[in-house]
Amino acid sequence: MKYKLIVMDMDGTVLKSNHNVSRQSRNVLDRARAAGIRVTLASGRNFNNMLHIVKKLGIVEPIVSNDGALIKDPVTGEVLFEDYFQPDCLVKILEEIHRHGLTYTINFDYASVSNRSMNYLGFLQRMGLRAIAAGIYEKGVRVTKTHEEIVSDILDKKHKAYKVTTLNNDPEAHGMEETSRWIEEHWGDCAKISYSGLKNFDVLPVHVTKSHGLIVLQEHYGINREEIIAFGDSYNDLEMLRHAGFGVAMGNASDHVKNTADYVTKTNDSHGVAYAIEKFILNDLDMD
């Protein structure tokens, strides 16, 4: 198969655990681009918090941010697709999250906004190594406001909200499962729950997925799903791996993700993305 598009998750996939991109990965992606294959990212992160990695990797294609809620060209600023919360739906969801004493972060179109200052040490200890670099990096781009200020901003309808991440970073806080269940039962027509970690859940507009992001890119480039190879390691990558013509799970992924994929590569710290691209794309090109 002649693949025409490489789509990679960021954290735990193309990024190493120290939050860096290896030279080996950069070199392999450069070789793929030189062969005419497009390269892009699909992440749960906010658009602006992907741009430093976009620059490191030399990506010029539209990127899938917020788990598919915003697909935007990092060069021209053109928005290919976006889906965001309606204010009444979002406010009710946040009220329930706040009632349980949980910390939340909203990915707006201008910044990520949290309802309280993060207890990063406690949060990182519970989330594990994968979250350390991402948490430290995002600390510099997160705005903190009171819950009341956030609700007021939402009702003013000045900014678009693409995603909510709820964190159990307080040992005394309970109700994660109860809160997520309530959201699904009461607001399932406008919001959905997605899991990207063991101690948190994400809330997204109901039709948003990374796999839909792939469909948008397919239509944009006039290619079919069989011409896409996708890489991921987490639960929010499952639908993307299923949709792509060839889905690759990282060696550090959970068993469920591995069982979903067409192939399991090496871990993110062992250059798993580069290894699979060499094996399934570049080696075939060298043989032609």
Q: What is the pLDDT along the chain (288 residues), one digit of tens a residue?
A: 689 999 999 999 999 999 899 999 999 999 999 999 999 999 999 999 999 999 999 999 999 999 999 999 999 999 999 999 999 999 999 999 999 888 899 999 989 999 975 554 444 444 444 444 444 444 446 688 999 999 999 999 989 999 999 987 655 556 788 899 999 999 999 999 987 665 689 999 999 999 999 999 999 999 999 999 999 999 999 999 999 999 999 999 999 999 999 999 999 999 999 999 999 999 877 655
* pLDDT digit string, tens, across residues 196-254: 665 689 999 999 999 999 999 999 999 999 999 999 999 999 999 999 999 999 999 99
Phi, psi values for residue 80, rounded to 5°: -80, -35
Do 190 and 184 form a contact (C-beta atoms < 8 A)?
no
CA distance 151 to 19: 33
H helices present in the chain, as ranges: 23-34, 51-57, 87-99, 120-127, 129-139, 147-156, 176-187, 210-221, 238-243, 255-260, 272-277, 283-287
Record the pTM.
0.90
Quickly tell me which residue has 């889905």 as its tokens: 247
> Cα torsion at 237, 167, 131, 114 (round to 10°)?
100
CA angle centred on 74, ends 34 and 52, rounded to 5°: 85
The amino acid occupying position 46 is N
**Bridging pattern class, strands 200-205 and 161-167:** antiparallel
Quickly tell me which residue has 């032609």 as its tokens: 288
CA distance 51 to 49: 6
Domains and CATH numbers, the chain: 5-82+208-287 (3.40.50.1000), 87-205 (3.30.1240.10)
